[in-house]
Amino acid sequence: MLGNFSYSNPTKLYFGEDSLNFLNEELPKYGKNVLLVYGGGSIKSTGLYDNIVKILKENGKDVFEDAGVMPNPTVEKLYEGSKRAKDNNVDLILAVGGGSVCDYAKAVSVSAYCEEDPWDKYYLRMEDVDNKIIPVGCVLTMVGTGSEMNGGSVITNHATKLKIGHVFGENVFPKFSILNPVLTYTVPQYQMVAGFFDIMSHILEQYFSNEDDNTSDYIMEGLLKSLIHSSRIAVKNPTDYEARSNIMWTATWALNTLVAKGKSTDWMVHMIGQSIGAYTDATHGMTLSAISMAYYRFIMPYGFQKFKRYAINVWNVNPQGKTDEEVALEGLDLMEAYMREIGLVMNINDLGATEEMVDGIAKGSFILEGGYKVLTQDEIVHILKNSMINNK
């Protein structure tokens, strides 16, 4: 273990098929005015909207709506929602949707009473919140980001081609989140598998860093095995409750701050993926899958022992009679085969990225220093081009 740390997570979770009933326990804790935040309409077609409005009314709430939160929520939408929350003196923001809706709700919660431009303050200057924060609760309908139990909030600014995440502190974490795996059954297959890879990527970003003996790494190997097992079942049968519920629980633990404790982390796949997203508006998980193999093959020589351990402990590679390099490479080959098997995008061209965008995407990728190799901008260009060439 490295360093000293403290650990607590303030989000209360309600998990399982009956978990929506627990809204009745949470709602009385907040004032009358509720801002119901949701996306492009999936919650209306599934009937969830009607159920939630009914529960809100039964609890005597005045409901204000903020609909149309797009995947990869934009800064313009944030300005609009912040004004609505303040004008209506909102006591609770109830986010019903996927990571985009939850992230957006957190952004509104810190921006409504912010006296400066929240994009400048929180996303460009990365400052802490020093104004009133509106509490947020989530009803999750799509699995992957971990937004239901963390302080992450990613906003896209198309004008400046920047997609930036601010990881806020515990005061911005959702107060509660309702996790009902059945609500995720209707997620389209493309979004579903993108979410699965988002989970995998969150784990790998925290796993591939440093070589100290660390409890977190053992936890992550277990999470990865559960995810690989259940995702193979879920792609064939999306309504398999056991698989979908295990994946939902894995997603939460992959990014609720626990496994990052006591260790350094990488996050370069996300930094490059977010920049791809800023240029293409592609689905988050697919930006990660498209770049991952090119990235991991590039950094493997710098973190050799960990890649060998990954191959053996996660992908069950038998090391007998093989060199360390052969073992490590076999692990990456198995990862790639799995990614193709579940239907992930493996090439940034397929997301709409072009040769002309490559320099801009590299420039927009924030370079972090926790991984096995601190990348230069030229190396990011090289990785992006490799994703185009190799991953057909």
Residues of the shown chain interacting with ligand NZQ in the complex, contacts defined by CB under 6 A: 39-43, 46, 71-72, 97-101, 103, 141-142, 144-147, 150, 152, 154, 165, 183-184, 186-187, 191, 195, 198, 255, 270, 284-285
Long-range contacts: 126-129, Cβ < 8 Å, 24+? 126/166, 128/169, 129/168, 129/169, 129/171, 129/172
Record the tokens describing residue 58, joined without a space. Answer: 């039964």
CA distance 264 to 121: 26
Which of Zn ion, ligand NZQ, none does 150 bind, CB closer than 5 to 8 A by kind?
A: ligand NZQ
Least distance (Å) from ligand NZQ to the CB of residue 217?
A: 20
CA distance 98 to 230: 20
Q: Which stretch binds Zn ion (CB under 5 A): 117-125, 147-155, 195-203, 325-333?
A: 195-203
Kindly report the three-state secondary structure assignment for every residue of 341-381: HHCCCCCHHHHCCCHHHHHHHHHCCCCCCCCCCCCCHHHHH
Which of ligand NZQ, Zn ion, none does 214 bind, CB closer than 5 to 8 A by kind?
A: none
CA distance 111 to 134: 9
| Residue among 26, 103, 148, 198 that touches Zn ion (CB under 5 A) | 198
* Residue (185 or 304) nearer to ligand NZQ, CB: 185
Q: Which stretch binds Zn ion (CB under 5 A): 25-33, 135-143, 165-173, 192-200?
A: 192-200
Q: Does 148 participate in binding Zn ion (rule CB under 5 A)?
A: no
Least distance (Å) from ligand NZQ to the CB of residue 261?
A: 16
Least distance (Å) from Zn ion to the CB of residue 225?
A: 20
- # residues contacting Zn ion (CB under 5 A): 1
3 state DSSP class of 66: strand
- The answer to whether 135 and 92 are in contact (CB under 8 A) is yes
CA distance 172 to 106: 7
Record the tokens describing residue 210, joined without a space. Answer: 């440093």
* Residue (99 or 331) nearer to Zn ion, CB: 99
Least distance (Å) from Zn ion to the CB of residue 292?
A: 11
Q: What angle do CA 384, 390, 391 make, to 5 degrees?
A: 85
CA distance 46 to 185: 10
Least distance (Å) from ligand NZQ to the CB of residue 227?
A: 15
Q: Which stretch binds Zn ion (CB under 5 A): 8-16, 24-32, 197-205, 372-380?
A: 197-205
Least distance (Å) from Zn ion to the CB of residue 273?
A: 7
Per-residue string for binding with Zn ion, 268-297, x by CB under 5 A? Answer: ------------------------------
Least distance (Å) from ligand NZQ to the CB of residue 284?
A: 4
Q: What angle do CA 231, 226, 277 make, to 5 degrees?
A: 55
Q: Which residues have a Cβ under 8 Å from the Cβ of 30 and sit 6 or more positions away?
A: 91, 92, 135
Q: Is the dihedral of CA 345, 347, 350, 353 positive or negative?
A: positive
Q: Which residues have a Cβ under 8 Å from the Cβ of 286 and sit 6 or more positions away?
A: 190, 194, 197, 344, 345, 351
* Residue (105 or 219) nearer to ligand NZQ, CB: 105
* Residue (26 or 198) nearer to ligand NZQ, CB: 198
Least distance (Å) from Zn ion to the CB of residue 200?
A: 10
Which of Zn ion, ligand NZQ, none does 206 bind, CB closer than 5 to 8 A by kind?
A: none
- The answer to whether 11 and 256 are in contact (CB under 8 A) is yes
Tally DSSP H helices, then E strands, for the chain: 15, 8
CA distance 81 to 295: 37
* Residue (82 or 387) nearer to Zn ion, CB: 387
Least distance (Å) from ligand NZQ to the CB of residue 296?
A: 17
Least distance (Å) from ligand NZQ to the CB of residue 353?
A: 16
* Residue (7 or 356) nearer to ligand NZQ, CB: 7
Which of ligand NZQ, Zn ion, none does 263 bind, CB closer than 5 to 8 A by kind?
A: none
**Looking up tokens 């509720």, which residue turns up?**
34
Which of ligand NZQ, Zn ion, none does 245 bind, CB closer than 5 to 8 A by kind?
A: none
Which of Zn ion, ligand NZQ, none does 217 bind, CB closer than 5 to 8 A by kind?
A: none
Interacting residues with Zn ion (CB under 5 A): 198
